[in-house]
Structure formats: structure tokens, C-alpha cells
A = this chain, B = another copy of it.
């Protein structure tokens, strides 16, 4: 149904927060319920009960809408742990797996990753606003945990993170959930080599 929104109070001079949220939620809903193909600017405007121009005024493209939701949701749902412990890192990886598989916001991440492959502009935004900031904090996490003796990675921090996250993402992209046990094994194999892995 095309959003039986009661006509929002017309706004006036300042940006209409209700319209902003309606757009973000409409984008999320459309992606979750109809798939990326249905995620057109016109459909978002219809679903949100908003004029197309209102979208173009504030977002240069639908990718930026998705990035807005991803940045907010991932900060909340898959926070990077503060404590540089082995358990913290393990939990982070498990949480990331769950996020990709079971959280609607995880679909947004996959959609953006895919779109970045088709659209250089999307690639830049995805790098700058999601991947890079997150990677910097992951790097710091790895560094501090290594220093603390919690882990001893066989790879540099970037390669280690790619080696840990890559299988999870690849699984999600190919429709296979990378199991929590496999995540743990991966963790042991790459970050704590040659222990009596119990």
C-alpha cells in the first residue's frame, strides 16, 4: 500500500525532519520487501509520501540515502568493541555475521557493496563513509589487542581483517551463511596460530 501517511504538517522554512525519516524508512522498506530493483527514487518518493524534488534536494542519489541508513544502523548494530580482547574480537566477528544474515540493515550493506561494483560514485561514497572509517577503528582494535598479547596475527592488520571479514561477506553474497563455528575456527587460525586451539 502506498503509504497511508496522514498528511504531514507542512513544514515551512526549515528542513522537515519527518520527511527525512520517511525517506530513510521508505528506502529501507523497499529494499527489504521488494529488492534493489524496486528501489527507484520515484518509488521511494511514493512510499514516503514525499515529492521527488525533496529527495533530490537533500540526497545526490539513492546510494547516499542507503549510506545514511547504513552508517547509522551499523554504528548501532555492529559496534566495534572498545576492549581489545580476544573475546571482544570474536564477538565482533560473530555479530557481523548475524548482522549480514539476519538484520535488514545487513541487506543495505550488501546492496551498497554490490552497487559500488557498478557505479564509481557509489564506490567512492561507500569507501569514504563506511569502509574507511570502520577499517581505521578495526586496525586500531587489532593493534591494541596484539600489543596486549591477546592475539598474534599471521597477517598485517588490513589483510587480517580482510581475511576475517571476507569469508563472511562472500558467504552472504553467495547465499551461504558462514557458520559461527567456522568464524571461530577462522579466528583461531589467523589470529592465534599454533595454539592447542581449544
Contact = CB atoms under 8 A, between A and B. Distances in A.
Interface in A121-169: 123, 127, 131, 154-156, 158-159, 162-163, 165-169
A11 interface: no
A194 interface: yes
Interface in A72-127: 110-111, 113-120, 123, 127
Contact of A182 (B37, B118, B123, B159): B159
Nearest to A182: B159
The A interface, classified by DSSP as helix, strand, loop or mixed, is: helix
Given A158-B176, A162-B170, 14 more contacts: A37-B118, A114-B114, A114-B118, A123-B175, A131-B174, A154-B185, A159-B185, A162-B171, A162-B182, A166-B167, A166-B169, A189-B190, A189-B193, A193-B197
A156 to B, nearest CB: 8
A197 B123 CA distance: 37
A117 B111 contact: yes
